């Protein structure tokens, strides 16, 4: 039996999927992560773990030569949409070049299935939600451009080299093992960090932006099915919650969960898609997706976990690649 490789194995989706596979199947799991955004404590002890960045093609080739990889889940990325215009080189190296390195190795070693975690951000702000998978991609930031480029590269790899891929477009997953110490991504985690450090949660703009949030446990069986169901080969599938919330509403849910008497602080607007949620019919049909855990319950679980976490130093970029247009909040805090 071949092994399953998970990139980004120390992150939210990667670590939780690894746990599920080890508990529920006979597969061995190989994991890669450079620990720039995830933490070693998240990695199941049964994972054969390699620490490096996928930009290092030689290190990646070494893993494929040593391990009998059958299936690949590619979660590794730096998913900071709003920050990506100001770290363009880093964004494309870690979200595009790293991905093409992985695809190259998968073609060379004839792996059986490749599941790629793309992003709902590829839809941009051109369309009225909910976004369905047939809409042409229209990214509005470098992060989404990188995800779109990987999607196109996978299509070419399939047509030219026979690589069997499935593209999953997750949106706004949260939960236990999420990085709450990064000030640039994962809004629910950002708020938890702020509240734990006796600060008010911050909101860009007026808070009328709309998202559909999804608890991570609801995603894991569908992600497994993405590599097991032959009907998923060559498919693009949205994956995420069925109920949308304004950012103001989501913040109020979290505040109620904490039981604290606090209010959000509103900041200058930023360049982003204002209304973004997706259809979920295809994920139900092909992946067996079920939205079981609502936002209040999911945030309660995550809050209980977050309160027990170590007081890690918050990640702040020491120097942006581009300062022009950077938001005042990111300049001053």
Q: What is the pLDDT along the chain (333 residues), one digit of tens a residue?
A: 899 999 999 999 999 999 999 999 999 999 999 999 999 999 999 999 999 999 999 999 999 999 999 999 999 999 999 999 999 999 999 999 999 999 999 999 999 999 999 999 999 999 999 999 999 999 999 999 999 999 999 999 999 999 999 999 998 999 999 999 999 999 999 999 999 999 999 999 999 999 999 999 999 999 999 999 999 999 999 999 889 999 999 999 999 999 999 999 999 999 999 999 999 999 999 999 999 999 999 999 999 999 999 989 898 898 999 999 998 888 855
pLDDT at site 332 = 57
CATH of 3-174+215-239, one of 3.30.70.2860, 2.40.110.10, 3.40.50.720, 3.10.50.40: 3.40.50.720
Do residues 307 and 260 touch, judged by C-beta distance below 8 A?
Answer: no
pLDDT at site 331 = 81
The domain made up of 187-212+243-276+293-332 has a fold known as UDP-galactose 4-epimerase; domain 1 (3.90.25)
pLDDT at site 315 = 87
The two tokens of residue 196 are 């734990």
What does the domain layout of the chain look like in residue ranges?
3-174+215-239, 187-212+243-276+293-332
- What are the beta bridge partners of residue 165? 114
pLDDT at site 198 = 96
- Which residue in the block uniquely carries the two structure tokens 């209040």? 296
Do residues 171 and 129 touch, judged by C-beta distance below 8 A?
Answer: no
This prediction has a pTM of 0.97
């Amino acid at each position: 039996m071949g092994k399953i490789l998970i990139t980004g194995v120390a992150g939210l989706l990667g670590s939780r999927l690894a746990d599920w596979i080890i508990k529920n199947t006979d597969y061995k799991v190989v994991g890669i992560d450079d620990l720039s955004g995830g933490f070693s404590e998240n990695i199941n002890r049964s994972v054969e773990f390699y620490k490096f960045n996928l930009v290092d093609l030689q290190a990646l080739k070494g893993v494929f030569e040593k391990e009998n990889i059958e299936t690949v889940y590619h979660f590794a990325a730096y998913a900071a949409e709003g920050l990506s215009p100001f770290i363009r080189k880093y964004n494309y190296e870690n979200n595009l070049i790293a991905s093409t390195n992985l695809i190259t190795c998968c073609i060379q070693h004839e792996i059986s299935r490749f599941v790629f975690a793309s992003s709902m951000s590829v839809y941009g702000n051109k369309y009225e939600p909910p976004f369905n998978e047939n809409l042409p991609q229209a990214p509005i930031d470098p992060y989404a451009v990188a995800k779109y480029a990987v999607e196109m590269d996978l299509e070419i790899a399939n047509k030219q080299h026979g690589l069997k891929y499935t593209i999953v477009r997750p949106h706004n997953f949260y939960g236990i093992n999420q990085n709450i110490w990064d000030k640039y991504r994962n809004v629910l985690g950002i708020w938890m960090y702020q509240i734990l450090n006796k600060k008010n949660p911050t909101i860009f703009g007026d808070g009328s932006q709309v998202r559909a949030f999804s608890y991570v446990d609801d995603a894991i069986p569908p992600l497994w099915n993405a590599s097991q169901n032959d009907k998923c080969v060559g498919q693009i599938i949205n994956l995420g919650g069925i109920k949308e919330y304004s950012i103001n509403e989501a913040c109020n849910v979290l505040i109620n969960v904490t039981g604290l008497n606090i209010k959000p602080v509103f900041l200058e607007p930023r360049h982003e898609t204002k209304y973004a949620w997706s259809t979920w019919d295809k994920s139900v049909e092909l992946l067996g997706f079920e939205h079981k855990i609502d936002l209040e319950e999911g945030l309660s679980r995550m809050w209980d976990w977050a309160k027990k976490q170590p007081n890690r130093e918050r990640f702040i970029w020491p120097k942006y690649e581009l300062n022009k247009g950077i938001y005042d909040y990111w300049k001053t805090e």
